[in-house]
Amino acid sequence: MDATYGALCKHGYAELTMQDIAEESSKSKGTLHYHFEGKQDLLESFLAFLLNRFEERTRTIPGETPTERLHEFLDELLTPTDEESAEEFRTAILEIKAQSPYNEAYREQLAEFDRALHERLASLVADGLEAGEFRADVDPDETADFLVTVSNGSETRAAAVDRSPERTKRHVHQYIDEYLLADDTDTTVDDEMEAAE
Amino acid sequence: MDATYGALCKHGYAELTMQDIAEESSKSKGTLHYHFEGKQDLLESFLAFLLNRFEERTRTIPGETPTERLHEFLDELLTPTDEESAEEFRTAILEIKAQSPYNEAYREQLAEFDRALHERLASLVADGLEAGEFRADVDPDETADFLVTVSNGSETRAAAVDRSPERTKRHVHQYIDEYLLADDTDTTVDDEMEAAE
C-alpha cells in the first residue's frame, strides 16, 4: 500500500503501471500480479485501505465538547498533510474520482468513503445537539451532507485550480460558530479574538 | 463546440479522439486539424467557449432583490440541466479537472472559470450587503469563495458517488436565509412554509 501511494504520487493515476508500483516496493512485478489481477484490482484494495485508515484514525477525536471535536475533525479533514507528495496524491485521488463513473469497483469504494465521512460528521453534529450546544433545528444528516460536499469541493479546487483549502477551513470554522451554535452558547474563539482587537 | 460537447458526452475525456469529434460534426477530421493542433488545443477552446457562455448567460439574473437573485443564481448553478447527457458531461468535466495539474492550458481555463464564478457570487453578495439585506459582517469575498467550493463539491460528488446536487441546493438556500440574511429581514420563503404547516 505504501508502494502504491508512492507510485501514484510519482506517476499520477492515468500513467500508472504495475511495474511502477513494483519499483516502489521490495516485491517483484510477478509477486504483485500473484496477489492482484492488475492495476484496477490493486487500486480497489488501496481505496479500501484508505477507508480503513480513515476509520481507525477518526475513531477518537480530541476535544472536550462536541463543538470542539467537530472543529478539530474538520480542521484535520481540510488541512493537507505536510508531506511533500500531498499535492500529487490529491491529484491522483481526483483522477480516480473522475474514473468512478467508468469503474464500478472504484465507485463502490468511493461511495463507502463518502458514507463513512458522512456518518462521522452526522454523529458529531448529533452529539452537539444532544449536549444542547447546537441550535435545536439543526439537522445532523443535512449538515453532514453539506460538510461532505464542502470537503469534496475543497479537494477538487485544490487539485484543479490550485486553491488552498485554508480559506475553506476558516469559513467552515465560522459556519460552525455562527450557524450551528445555539445563540446562548458561550462566546467562541472568534468572538474573543474580535473582542481583543 | 456542439460536436465537442456531443463527443465528450459519448466517449468521455480520456478516450476522446479528433475522429470522434469530427464524427459529431459536419466537418472532416482534416478540417478540424486545420483549425486545432489536436485534442488538447480543441478542448482548451471548448473550455473558453463554456466560460464565455457562462458569462453571457449570467449577465442578468432574474429576481427583484439581491437576495432573490443570489437564490436564483445558486439554484441555476446547482441544478443539473435536463439534458440526458448532463451526467456524462459532468464526468467529462471532472476528468478535465483531474488533468489540470498536468496541463497548463486547462489549468488556466479552469482558473478563469473559477474566478468568473467567484466574481459573480461576490458581486451578488455585495449587492445584498449594500441593500442592507445581509448581516453587516458578511464578507462578500469569503462567502463567494465558500460557495464556489460548495459548487465544486456538488459537481464532484454527483460524478464520483452519484449524489444528487438537490440536497446541496436545499442546504445552500437555507444557508442564505439563515446565515447571510440580517436578523431584521422579512420572513423568508422557508419561514412562511413552516408557519403554514
ipTM of the complex: 0.89
Helices A66-78, A166-175: axis angle to 10 degrees equals 160
Nearest CB among B100, B146, B175 relative to A160 is that of B100
Of A184, A172, A88, the residue nearest A133 (C-alpha): A184
Beta-carbon separation of A149 and B159 below 8 A: no
For residue A134, give the nearest of A66, A63, A64, A62 by alpha carbon: A66
Q: Measured between CB atoms, which of A149, A168, A171 is closest to B168?
A: A149
3-state class (DSSP) for residue B186: coil
Distance CA B90, CA B85 (A): 9
| Distances A158 to A108, A163, A164 between C-alpha atoms, Å | 24, 5, 6
Q: Does B109 touch chain A (CB under 8 A)?
A: no
Inter-chain CB proximity A94 and B98 less than 8 Å: yes
CB B118 within 8 A of CB B145: yes
Q: Cα(B98)–Cα(B109) distance, rounded to whole angstroms?
A: 13
Residue B156: which of A111, A156, A170 has the nearest Cβ? A156
* Angstroms from A64 CA to nearest CA on chain B: 26
Whether the pLDDT of residue A138 is over 70: the answer is yes
Q: Looking at residue A190, what is its pLDDT?
A: 53
Contact state of A98 with B95 under an 8 Å Cβ cutoff: yes
- Least CB–CB distance from B91: residue in A98, A151, A152: A98
Q: Is the pLDDT of residue A188 over 60?
A: no
Weakly modelled stretches of chain B, pLDDT under 50: 187, 192, 197
pLDDT at residue A13, rounded to an integer:
93
Q: Which of A78-87, A110-119, B121-130, B179-188 has the lowest average pLDDT?
A: B179-188
Whether the CB-CB separation of A182 and A132 falls below 8 Å is answered with yes
Of A97-111, A159-173, B183-197, the range with the lowest mean pLDDT is B183-197
pLDDT of residue B193: 53
- A44 inside 8 A of chain B by CB: no
Select from B149, B163, B183 the residue whose CB has the most chain A CBs within 10 Å, as the one to mutate to test that interface: B149
Neighbouring residues of B174: CB distance < 8 A, sequence distance ≥ 6: B190
Q: For A80, which DSSP code?
A: P
CB-CB: which of A99, A152, A161 is closest to B107?
A: A161
Q: Report d(CA A92, CA A159) in Å as an integer.
A: 9
The C-alpha cell that represents A156 in the structure block: 477538487
Task: Please tell me if residue A145 touches chain B, with a CB cutoff of 8 Å.
Answer: yes
Q: State how far the Cα of B76 lies from the Cα of B153, in Å rounded to an integer.
A: 16
Whether chain B has a CB inside 8 Å of the CB on A56: the answer is no
Q: Grid coordinates 480516480 are at which residue?
A: A96
Domains of chain A: 1-57 (1.10.10.60), 62-196 (1.10.357.10)
Contacts of B61 (CB under 8 A, 6+ apart): B69, B72, B73, B124
Residue B191, pLDDT score: 52
Quick check: A101 and B145 CB within 8 A? no
Q: What is d(CA A188, CA A173) in angstroms, rounded to the nearest whole number?
A: 10
Which helix (H) or strand (E) is B151 found in, with range? Answer: helix B140-161
Q: Please indicate if any CB of chain A lies within 8 Å of the CB of B19.
A: no
* Contact between A78 and A172 (Cβ < 8 Å): yes
Residue count of chain A, please give it: 197
Any idea which of A24-38, A115-129, B126-140 has the lowest mean pLDDT? Answer: A24-38
C-alpha cell at A174: 465560522
A55 in contact with B, Cβ within 8 Å: no
Residue of A nearest to B194 (CA): A137
pLDDT at position B72, please? 96
Average pLDDT over residues A43-48: 94
Tell me the DSSP string of A118-138. HHHHHHHHHHHHHTT-B-TT-
Question: What's the rounded mean pLDDT across residues A170-175?
Answer: 95
CB contact under 8 A, B145 and A102: no
**Quick check: A111 pLDDT over 90?**
yes
Of the candidates B40, B11, B37, B41, the one whose C-alpha atom is nearest the C-alpha of residue B24 is B11
B103 vs A: CB within 8 A:
no
Q: What is the pLDDT of residue B55?
A: 92
Q: How far is B26 from chain A (nearest CA, A)?
A: 29
The distance from CA A74 to its chain's CA centroid, rounded to whole angstroms, is: 9
C-alpha atoms less than 13 angstroms from C-alpha of A187 in its C-beta half-sphere: 8
Give the per-residue pLDDT at A196.
Answer: 52
A109 — contact with chain B (CB < 8 Å)?
A: no
Minimal Cβ distance to A149: which of B94, B157, B159: B157
With a CB cutoff of 8 Å and minimum separation 6, the contacts of A66 are: A124, A125, A127, A128, A130, A131, A133, A134
Interface check for B136 against chain A (CB to CB < 8 A): the answer is: no
Instruction: Please report the pLDDT score of residue A195 as a whole number.
Output: 52
Smallest Cα distance from B58 to chain A, Å? 22
Whether residue B141 contacts residue B123, with contact meaning beta carbons closer than 8 Å, is answered with no
Tens digits of residue pLDDT in B85-122? 888 999 999 999 999 999 999 999 999 999 999 999 99
Average pLDDT over residues A13-30: 92
Residue A84's pLDDT band, with cuts at 50, 70 and 90, is confident
| Beta carbons of A100 and B161 less than 8 Å apart | yes
